[in-house]
Every structure is written in structure tokens, then in C-alpha cells.
């Protein structure tokens, strides 16, 4: 396994940067397993940071430029999904008294609902800023990407509905595979993005 990793690193131009990211990722995961997962709020942020580190690593491997918008959106979406999943743990704890996680008693439903609302709002604002930024308009050769915000907002609102009203946020993968509304939002976003860029 180590030999394979070294071989992969040897084929990448910026392998020293990738090595630093991998080392930091490993250190963060060890710290998470030992202590950080027991600290409320920090545990969720560590999960989101892990996704950002994977994005950076993937960009180096594929030799692709990772913009600040991708980093921000990845972090915010990961944070949103992680808090939504934690909310399910809080519901179980408040209904049955069973601690799914050691720090679950450091959260409550009111806090989780407000946290989700804040993160959803920031995510939406960040996406709109992305669509109207000069950098993106120049790169995509269009100023109409803001139209795709409709589908992003609809998808976020639906996920909030599933999380807060239906209490079905335990597995983002299952929601993506089973919820028709979110599937339509994603497909509509992709189609709208494609039409705006290529037509």
C-alpha cells in the first residue's frame, strides 16, 4: 500500500504539496478519532474540512485548478449535510435518551435547526456570488448562470424539509437515490447549466 502511494506521488508534479495534504489529513483523522469527535461543533467542522482536503488532493492528482468557489461550496455543503445528520442523532437522544454519539447532549433541536438555517443561507449566498462573479462570467462567457440558483435553492429547501419536517436526514446518499424532488432539482440544474453555457 505504501509502495503504491509512493509510486503515485512520484508521477505527480506537485507531489510534495500532495504529501503535505495527505499527512495533514491523516493527522486530522487521528486527532478526530482520539479527541475531536467528542467536542461539539468541532466534530462537524472536522468532517467538512476532510472533504475540502480531498478536493485539494484530487485537484493535484488530476492537475486541475481548484477555485476558491469550489472550496467554499464543498465546505459549506459538507457542513450542512453533517449538521443535518447530527440532527437525527439529537432526535434519537431526545426521544429515547440513547446517546448515538458521546457529545450528542451538547446539541439540541433548536440549536440544530438554527445552525442548518444559517449554513443553508450562507451556502445559497455563496452560490449566487459565484454565479455573478466577474471571474466566473469571464471564464464561462455568460452572465446568466444566476438562473441556476433557482434549482440550488429548491434542492436546499427540500433537504431542510426532509431534515426538519420528515426527520429523514440520516443518510444523504439514500436521500439522493430515493427522493424524486431532489433528483429533479439536480438534473434541472445540470441541464440549465449546460444550456446556458453551450447555447
Q: Give the model confidence (pLDDT) of 69-86 as tens digits.
A: 999 999 999 999 999 989
pLDDT digits (tens, 9 = 90+) for 150-168: 999 999 999 999 988 988 7
Separation of alpha carbons 106 and 44, rounded Å: 13
* Residue where a domain stops, chosen among 66, 95, 116: 66
Residue 76 included in any domain: no
Per DSSP, the three-state class of 196 is: helix
Residue 109 included in any domain: yes
Residue 101 included in any domain: yes
User: Is there a single domain that holds both residue 95 and residue 189?
Assistant: yes
pTM assigned to the model: 0.86
User: Is there a single domain that holds both residue 61 and residue 127?
Assistant: no
Q: Which residue segment(s) compose the domain that 28 sits in?
A: 1-66
User: Is there a single domain that holds both residue 104 and residue 151?
Assistant: yes
Separation of alpha carbons 146 and 129, rounded Å: 9
Give CA separation, 174 vs 106, 183, 197, in Å: 27, 11, 31
Residue 175 included in any domain: yes
Q: 10 Å Cβ neighbour count for 95? A: 9
Torsion of CA 111, 42, 82, 88, to 10 degrees: -50
User: Is there a single domain that holds both residue 95 and residue 53?
Assistant: no
User: Is there a single domain that holds both residue 197 and residue 102?
Assistant: yes
Per DSSP, the three-state class of 171 is: coil
Match 475531536 to its residue by C-alpha cell.
36
100, 89 in Cβ contact below 8 A? yes
Residue 34 included in any domain: yes
Residue 183 included in any domain: yes
User: Is there a single domain that holds both residue 191 and residue 109?
Assistant: yes
In the chain, the number of structural domains is: 2
Separation of alpha carbons 152 and 154, rounded Å: 5
pLDDT digits (tens, 9 = 90+) for 89-117: 999 898 888 888 888 999 999 999 999 99
Residue 98 included in any domain: yes
User: Is there a single domain that holds both residue 190 and residue 109?
Assistant: yes
* pLDDT given for residue 60 in this prediction: 84
| Confidence label for 4 from pLDDT (cuts 50, 70 and 90) | very low
User: Is there a single domain that holds both residue 144 and residue 47?
Assistant: no
User: Is there a single domain that holds both residue 174 and residue 146?
Assistant: yes
Amino acid at each position: 500500500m505504501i509502495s503504491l502511494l509512493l509510486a503515485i506521488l512520484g508521477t505527480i508534479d506537485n507531489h510534495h504539496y500532495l504529501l503535505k495534504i495527505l499527512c495533514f489529513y491523516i493527522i486530522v483523522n487521528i486527532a478526530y478519532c482520539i479527541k475531536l469527535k467528542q467536542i461539539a461543533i468541532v466534530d462537524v467542522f472536522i468532517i467538512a474540512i476532510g472533504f475540502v482536503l480531498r478536493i485539494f488532493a484530487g485537484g493535484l492528482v488530476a492537475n486541475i485548478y481548484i477555485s476558491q468557489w469550489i472550496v467554499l461550496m464543498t465546505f459549506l455543503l459538507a457542513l450542512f449535510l453533517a449538521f443535518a445528520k447530527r440532527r437525527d442523532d439529537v432526535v434519537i437522544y431526545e426521544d429515547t435518551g440513547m446517546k448515538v454519539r458521546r457529545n450528542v447532549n451538547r446539541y439540541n433541536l433548536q440549536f440544530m435547526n438554527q445552525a442548518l438555517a444559517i449554513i443553508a443561507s450562507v451556502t445559497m449566498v455563496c452560490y449566487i456570488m459565484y454565479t455573478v462573479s466577474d471571474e466566473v462570467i469571464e471564464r464561462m462567457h455568460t452572465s446568466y448562470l444566476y438562473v441556476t440558483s433557482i434549482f440550488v435553492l429548491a434542492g436546499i429547501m427540500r433537504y431542510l424539509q426532509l431534515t426538519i419536517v420528515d426527520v429523514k436526514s440520516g443518510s444523504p446518499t439514500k436521500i439522493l437515490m430515493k427522493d424524486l424532488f431532489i433528483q429533479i432539482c439536480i438534473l434541472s440544474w445540470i441541464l440549465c447549466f449546460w444550456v446556458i453555457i453551450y447555447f
